[in-house]
Chains A and B, each alone.
Chain A
Amino acid sequence: MSKILEVDSVRKSFWTNQVLTDVYLRCETGDILGLLGRNGSGKSTLLKIIFGTLYTDYKHIRINGLVLDQPYKTKKMVSFLNQDNFLPKNLTIKQIVNLYSNHLDPAIFLYDIVLSNVLDTKIRVLSGGESRYFEVKLILNLDSQFVLLDEPFNGISPLHIELVKKMILDKSTEKGIVLTDHDYLNVLDIANKCFLLFDGGIKNIKSKEDLKIWGYIPDK
């Protein structure tokens, strides 16, 4: 059965700067929503509001018809990949996978071509790309219905980006995914719906040309 995440009337301002004005998003199982926008346009802010860790005066979040104020507190609902590294640096990959073992299948990490050689390595010793790859894989494999990915391609080499894209596409058959990244070509490549956060609102994006029209990428 298809699950539905609906986000409506989201407004957020920092002091006098209105970042989000009446944003609406709808994500279903099978969807990969790509969110693009300039620095400071409110992409991460919006994802944190949906996850429920950032307070705002106005928002309406509904998952499968259930109105939730802080969706992250409800089990198996939403998982979130933070923009910055968030795993405890003094733990190894194996230890972290064991901690999450009730929420995912540890075997998928043991045979991963990127991670199998660094399973006993502490997070602080991993390269930025390895660490990001592990975080993306971890969050995508949690038993939640929706996944919010904030800059999943950040710091990952082109070869591994292809693996990440495949992971996202595979997981989208059973989850709804909202992702944001500045790597717009890869976002456009895998997203089935794409939006641009512009002036606090959401613009529908059909192609690269639309991004030029809205001034997200240069005209030439």
Chain B
Amino acid sequence: MIRLYLLYNKSILKTNLIFSILFTILKVVITLEKTIDHFPYSIALNSFIVSILTGGFFLSILYFQVSKKNEYYFYFNFGLSQVKLIGIAYLFHIILITPLLIIRFYV
């Protein structure tokens, strides 16, 4: 069963990374336009973390819902509901992002 959750999570994570990297680049470019003295590492990291756990995740679910909604039947036949899949995928995202959160707060 865990392999199925991982498979769904992989689909969501792939899209989420694209959205979040784009968002981070946009945020860094906007910041650099205002302050060009140094690269805003903390802003980049903050933007990436926030995006991957909020907007990026939401947009990835939405993208899956629109472009791959029939794939849910692949999971339904295992007894997995949409709520379960999304919940577990979010949990995976939190686990994956934890090292970045630690870097953000302690380094």
Contacts and interface: CB of A to CB of B under 8 A. Distances in A.
A99 interface: yes
Given A86-B70, A86-B71, A88-B71, A79 B77 contact: yes
A87 B72 CA distance: 9
Nearest to B82: A53
Contact of B76 (A72, A84, A99, A103): A72
Interface residues of B, number: 14
Interface in A99-114: 99-100, 103
A155 B7 CA distance: 28
Interface residues of A, number: 20
Interface in B51-101: 70-74, 76-79, 81
21 contacts: A51-B76, A53-B72, A72-B77, A72-B79, A73-B81, A74-B79, A75-B79, A79-B77, A80-B76, A80-B77, A82-B70, A86-B70, A86-B71, A86-B73, A87-B71, A87-B74, A88-B7, A88-B11, A88-B74, A100-B78, A103-B78
Interface of B: 3-4, 7, 11, 70-74, 76-79, 81
Interface of A: 51, 53, 70, 72-75, 79-80, 82, 84-88, 99-100, 103, 139, 142
